[in-house]
Amino acid sequence: QVQLVQSGAEVKKPGASVKVSCKASGYTFTGYYMHWVRQAPGQGLEWMGWINPNSGGTNYAQQFQGRVTMTRDTSITTAYMELSRLRSDDTAVYYCARNFPYGSKFLPGDWGQGTLVTVSS
């Protein structure tokens, strides 16, 4: 079965960077886009972008352009999301989500457990 296991919680200072990992198993890693979505405390879902694990191509939401970098390591079936120049309002749970097998490439399907990133001085 599809499993996405994310790295543990992080505490960062404003201005720092954070890199969250997402270890995939149970399917062909290079066959499905991987989305990153975040959720601030008590708030809604916010799409950050996706990476094509096969080519490494990325598509970032406009509000994160210049601050986010999505990468992957196919040898260990792991996707990464790095967010730089952190601010307090980046405090959120960050999710990776495999694109659903049916439908478009804009359809997060199976989700990781989430990684809480806290930005605080």
Partner 1 sequence: SSELTQDPAVSVALGQTVRITCQGDSLRSYYASWYQQKPGQAPVLVIYDKNNRPSGIPDRFSGSSSGDTASLTITGAQAEDEADYYCNSRDSSGNHLVFGGGTKLTVL
State yes or no: residue 46 binds partner 1 (CB under 8 A).
yes
- 120: three-class secondary structure by DSSP: coil
Instruction: Find the binder of partner 1 among 95, 115, 117, 119 (CB under 8 A).
Output: 95
Angle at 49 between CA 44 and CA 51, to 5 degrees: 140
**Nearest distance from C-beta of residue 56 to partner 1, angstroms:** 18
Report d(CA 78, CA 73) in Å as an integer: 5
Q: Which is nearer to partner 1, 16 or 45 (CB)?
A: 45
Report d(CA 28, CA 13) in Å as an integer: 36
Distance of CA 94 to the CA centre of its chain: 6
State yes or no: residue 7 binds partner 1 (CB under 8 A).
no
Contact set with partner 1 (CB under 8 A): 35, 37, 44-47, 49-50, 59, 61-62, 95, 100, 102-104, 106-109, 111-114
